[in-house]
Amino acid sequence: MLFGNMVEQYIWFDGKFVKFKNANVHILTHSMQYGSGIFEGIRSYQSNGNSYVFRLEDHISRFMKSAKIYTMNLKFSEKKLADAVVATLKKNKLKAAYIRPFAFYNDQHIGLGVSGKKISIAIITVPFGSYFANKEKGISCKVSSWQRINSMILPPEAKASGNYINSIIASIDAQKSGADEAILLSQEGHVAEGPGENVFFVEDGTLITPSREADILMGITRDTIIKLAEYNGLSVVERNVHKEEMYTCDEAFFTGTAAEVTPITSIDSRKIGNGKVGPITSMLADKYYEVVSGSNPEFKDWLTKVF
């Protein structure tokens, strides 16, 4: 199990290092009952004996924006939190990790109200590999019957714990029907994103991805891929995408901190292109790994050195 080898590790908890087994909360904790927390997902990568966190400042900045949307006063500056991420990786001697900053109402009560309630922040670091088992070969997707949340219901741009119950129900249904992952549409019926990934399509050599108006999380990997595609001479269009356009595109892939660049080779049982990982997807995945591992000096500003 994932945490079997974690007992010797530490979690940064409200400014102190706490042993993994002691980083616990009460069963009545508000955020556990109601999903009233915010979080981030960040990765660090190992390369030639060194280790770098990828786009740490951008992730912490999004964490602060999520807190602002929910009026959570975090009591730690962006700099303190970024330093705490690096310190936790060092303390745990982790070179390639998934990093989960998490802020939550750490108060035990039945009522919904959060005014004046205690907020805790934890930073958890775990060893982590591929998010999808068959990532290299490409995955199958099913368009969900569940709509993506929209900002009249819950702000999709905040990375809030409660949002993920929408993602979870879509994933459950996709997997029960035999697909690897779901793709959710927006309330307007346009393609939005995966449960924890942004989505891209290739049509006649152009990269197309749903825009902010499609109720997506503004992914940091999405932004990375847009910049890398443009840097490598591809044209990128952010626009509405119809469901049927996905079926006839040449290539499709997901992006995300966990998913990295994951090729999609079928959607609703229709093969994407020839059903194999496409050349533009492969090229962008290679460029992505070059950048995150520190092998491309052009993009070194995105890396924070740990070791």
Ligand X SMILES: Cc1ncc(COP(=O)(O)O)c(C=O)c1O
Residues labelled catalytic: 159
Least CB distance to ligand X at residue 254 (A): 8
CA quadruple 75, 116, 31, 121: dihedral, nearest 10: 10
Per-position DSSP letters for 24-53, written without gaps between them: ---TTBHHHHH--EEE--EEEEEETTEEEE
Dihedral of CA atoms 192, 123, 68, 186 in degrees, nearest 10, equals 10
Nearer to ligand X, 10 or 131 (CB): 131
Which residue in 101, 155, 210, 219 binds ligand X (CB under 6 A)?
219
Q: Which is nearer to ligand X, 120 or 167 (CB)?
A: 167
Among 198, 209, 265, 304, interactor with ligand X by CB under 6 A: 198
Give me 153's structure tokens: 């219901």
Which of 10/184 has CB closer to ligand X? 184
Task: State the nearest-atom distance from the C-beta of 56 to ligand X, in Å.
Answer: 12
Rule CB under 6 A: which of 239-268 touch ligand X?
Answer: 255-257
Contact between 217 and ligand X (CB under 6 A)? yes
Which residues of the chain form beta strands (DSSP E)? 10-13, 16-19, 37-39, 42-47, 50-54, 97-105, 119-127, 139-147, 181-185, 191-193, 198-203, 206-209, 236-238, 251-256, 260-267, 270-271, 303-305
In this chain, which of 222, 246, 288, 303 binds ligand X, going by CB under 6 A? Answer: 222
The HSE-up count of residue 141 (CA atoms within 13 Å, CB side) is 31
135 interacts with ligand X by CB under 6 A: no
Judged by CB under 6 A, the stretch of 105-113, 213-221, 272-280, 285-293 that binds ligand X is: 213-221
Q: Which of residues 37-66 bind ligand X (CB under 6 A)?
A: 41
123 binds ligand X (CB under 6 A): no
Interface with ligand X (CB under 6 A), residue from 181, 193, 215, 251:
193
Q: Whole-angstrom Cα distance, residue 302 to residue 58?
A: 9
Least distance (Å) between residue 72 CB and ligand X: 18
List the interface residues with ligand X, window 163-182 (CB under 6 A): 167
Question: Which C-beta is closer to ligand X: that of 107 or that of 304?
Answer: 304
Neighbours of 117 (CB within 10 A): 16
Closer of 30 and 148 to ligand X (Cβ): 148
Report d(CA 142, CA 184) in Å as an integer.
Answer: 9
54, 90, 96 from 47: Cα distances, Å? 12, 16, 9
CA dihedral 92, 98, 103, 104 (to 10 degrees): -100
Distance of closest approach, residue 143 Cβ to ligand X, in angstroms: 16
Smallest distance, ligand X to C-beta of residue 57, A? 13
* 122 vs 182 by CB, closer to ligand X: 182
CA atoms of 94 and 181, how far apart (whole Å): 29
Binding residues for ligand X, rule: CB under 6 A, are 41, 167, 193, 196-198, 217, 219-222, 255-257
